[in-house]
Each structure stands twice: as C-alpha cells, then as structure tokens.
Homo-oligomer: A and B are copies of this chain.
Amino acid sequence: MKHFSTQDFAILDKQYRAKLINSLSGFKSANLVGTQDALGITNLSMVSSVFHIGADPALVGMIIRPDEVPRDTLANIKNNGFYTINHVGLGIFQQAHQASARYNAQESEFEKVGLTPEYHQGVSAPFVAESQLKFAVEMREIIPLSTNNTILVIGEICHLYCMPDAIKADGYIDIESLETVTVSGLDCYHITRRLTRLSYAKPDKELHCLTLDGEGS
C-alpha cells in the first residue's frame, strides 16, 4: 500500500493535498443550503459536510469555511435564524456544483445557476423547488473550531418536505429512489445502487437482510 505521513502531507502541492485529504472521509452528502438576508436577497451554497447529530431533537450539523464559502451563508444564518437544506438530485447536480462559484453578495445563486426559490409558511429562508427532499432548520449553536478556523453550525430541523413514495413503512426514506447524489473528494458526483438494508446488530445473533420497508427485523 502507498503510505503518506504528516511529513509527506506537508510537502505536497497545495491542490494535490486538498484533493487527497478531501477523499479520505469517504462518501459525502450533497446538499444545497438556502439562506436569505434582511433585504430579501437569496443565497444558495453547495455543502458536502451536512451530517446527522440526533433524532430527538432532530439536529444536523455542517462545517462552514469562512475563507472559502461565500460568507453570505453564515451571516444570513446568524441574522435570520433559519436556513434550508435541500438534497441534490441527479437532475440538478451540475447547477448545485456551479452554486459553489464565488458570486457577489448582491447576486443570487438561484438565478445564476438556474434553480427556483420556493417558500413555505413559517420559514423565512428559500427552499430549492427542484429538490425532492428538503427541510428547514433553525440555528441552535455556532461553534468555532479552534484547530483550523472553520465553524460548526448546528440546527434543529423544524419542517420537512419529502416526496411521499420515498417514505417507507418504518420511517426509512429511500433517498436512492429520489436520485439523491453523493460526493467524493472535492468534485466527483455519484449515484448509488442499494445493496441491502440490514437488521439491528446484536451480539451472538446472525444479521439478515430487511426489505426496503424494514420488514424482517
């Protein structure tokens, strides 16, 4: 196997290192984060670091880089209190990637990349109309990570919208049927092929496959 140490990382070309290290965590989620400022200017940001924190309360986290992502996203979240997270599907992954370009604060990425803002009652941030699974999030905690000057944003999911057929009998959402994509590294997009759902693991008990509806558990 090829081996790299900390010393090897240090002398790599910056772009090479960024691509290498960004590949290590495994497959990433692909989401568009929708925000809005006090003047009503919308902002859309491609984020591949959204991750589950808890189900009750329903919490999600994401990492924001103040120096890389347009700062509009973080400023809007702090000022508005609400933001939306929208799954990136096969039909919009190129527009989603384009949303990571550094547009000016007065320009809306929605318009620039050709996606449609959509509003739902009680949420002062724009959803992506083209997304098949999306949710509104209320900001709960902003934690600066001292180790590298990034910011962890934690929020509580307050409104969820999802295509009904994808929600299975036991609550599992078949996001593969929504054609949600996944990201590897900085710039590679993938669709998925389901292997199986597996039963809850217990010591000294054999695993078995579940149906898509969770039957057989």
Residues of A within 8 A of B (CB): 1-6, 9, 12-31, 48-61, 63, 65, 85, 87-88, 90, 93-94, 97-103, 107, 112, 120, 133, 135, 140-141, 143, 145-148, 150, 152, 154, 156-164, 167, 170-176, 180-182, 184-203, 205, 207, 210, 214
Task: State how many copies of this chain the complex holds.
Answer: 2
Question: Are A55 and B17 in contact, with the CB atoms below 8 A?
Answer: yes
Question: Are B29 and A27 in contact, with the CB atoms below 8 A?
Answer: yes
Question: Are A21 and B52 in contact, with the CB atoms below 8 A?
Answer: yes
Question: Are B18 and A55 in contact, with the CB atoms below 8 A?
Answer: yes
Ordered by A's residue number, 14 sampled pairs between the chains whose C-beta atoms are within 8 Å are A5-B158, A19-B172, A19-B214, A20-B173, A24-B160, A25-B51, A27-B30, A53-B145, A99-B201, A174-B184, A187-B210, A188-B194, A189-B195, A189-B196
| Contact among B24, B26, B150 for A182, CB-based, below 8 A | B26
Question: Are B141 and A180 in contact, with the CB atoms below 8 A?
Answer: no
The main secondary structure of chain A at its interface with chain B is: mixed
How far is the CB of A113 from the nearest CB of chain B, in Å?
9
Question: Are B29 and A26 in contact, with the CB atoms below 8 A?
Answer: yes
Question: Are A52 and B27 in contact, with the CB atoms below 8 A?
Answer: no
A186 CA to B204 CA, complexed, in Å: 20
Taking CB atoms, residues of chain B closer than 8 Å to A12 are: 171
A173 CA to B21 CA, complexed, in Å: 9
Question: Are A49 and B49 in contact, with the CB atoms below 8 A?
Answer: no
Question: Are A97 and B201 in contact, with the CB atoms below 8 A?
Answer: yes
A170 CA to B20 CA, complexed, in Å: 8
Question: Are A3 and B159 in contact, with the CB atoms below 8 A?
Answer: yes
Given A19-B214, A20-B171, A60:B187 Cβ within 8 A? no
Question: Are B1 and A157 in contact, with the CB atoms below 8 A?
Answer: no
A148 CA to B191 CA, complexed, in Å: 32
A156 CA to B2 CA, complexed, in Å: 19
Taking CB atoms, residues of chain B closer than 8 Å to A59 are: 147-148
Taking CB atoms, residues of chain B closer than 8 Å to A202 are: 101-102
